[in-house]
């Protein structure tokens, strides 16, 4: 009798293993389709989002979807927020999830929320120059030139060759000149 129970347990365990392995292979195939083969097919992304909660796959596909939407100037924040929230539910420290949510908060004009979200991403990944540069831009847009400058200096310290760093520094310097000119005019 005990032998039959052990055999039944082994059979059930084998079936579960095969099913999970098949789902993992399917998820891998969907990721390859989304990243390399059929990058504009929304169905591939949906299968990843609703498949196994494997956050590395969801993260890669979510970032690819976001980048595709940005490149095509068609940011769908309802969709991107699903990805960002899913990443954070799976892993509270997932910085890409916070970054995706930051982008949509910024687009929606939610200045305070976008700054809070990017600050959270930076808290978990303090050396990511793209997040630091993003924070500098958000603070620049909010008019906090000192905070923007601090973030830009940090980016410069970590990697002075960061894409767009020079452009943001130039914008900050222009804004500083404007503020200085305005102060001189009002005197």
Distance CA 18, CA 24 (A): 10
Distance CA 164, CA 102 (A): 18
Mean pLDDT of 116-141: 97
Domains of the chain (ranges plus CATH)? 30-125 (1.25.40), 127-187 (no CATH)
How much is the pTM?
0.81
In this predicted model, what pLDDT tens digit does every residue of 3-29 receive, in sequence order? 888 888 888 888 888 877 777 777 777
Task: Specify whether the CB–CB gap between 132 and 154 falls below 8 A.
Answer: yes
In this predicted model, what pLDDT tens digit does every residue of 54-85 receive, in sequence order? 768 788 888 888 888 888 898 999 999 998 99
Cα 144 → chain centroid: 24
Q: Is the pLDDT of residue 40 over 80?
A: no
């Amino acid at each position: 009798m005990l032998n039959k129970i052990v055999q039944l347990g082994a059979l059930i365990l084998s079936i579960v293993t095969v099913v999970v392995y098949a789902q993992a292979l399917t998820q891998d195939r969907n990721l390859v389709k989304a990243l390399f083969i059929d990058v504009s097919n929304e169905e591939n992304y949906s299968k990843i989002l609703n498949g196994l909660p494997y956050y590395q796959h969801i993260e890669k596909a979510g970032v690819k979807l976001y980048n595709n939407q940005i490149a095509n100037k068609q940011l769908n924040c309802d969709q991107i927020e699903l990805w960002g929230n899913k990443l954070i539910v799976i892993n509270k420290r997932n910085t890409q999830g916070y970054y995706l949510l930051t982008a949509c908060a910024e687009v929606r004009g939610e200045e305070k929320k976008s700054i809070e979200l990017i600050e959270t991403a930076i808290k978990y990944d303090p050396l990511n120059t793209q997040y630091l540069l993003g924070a500098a831009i958000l603070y620049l847009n909010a008019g906090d030139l000192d905070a923007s400058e601090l973030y830009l200096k940090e980016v410069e310290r970590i990697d002075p060759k960061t894409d767009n760093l020079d452009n943001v520094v130039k914008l900050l310097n222009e804004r500083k000149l404007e503020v200085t000119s305005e102060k001189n005019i009002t005197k």
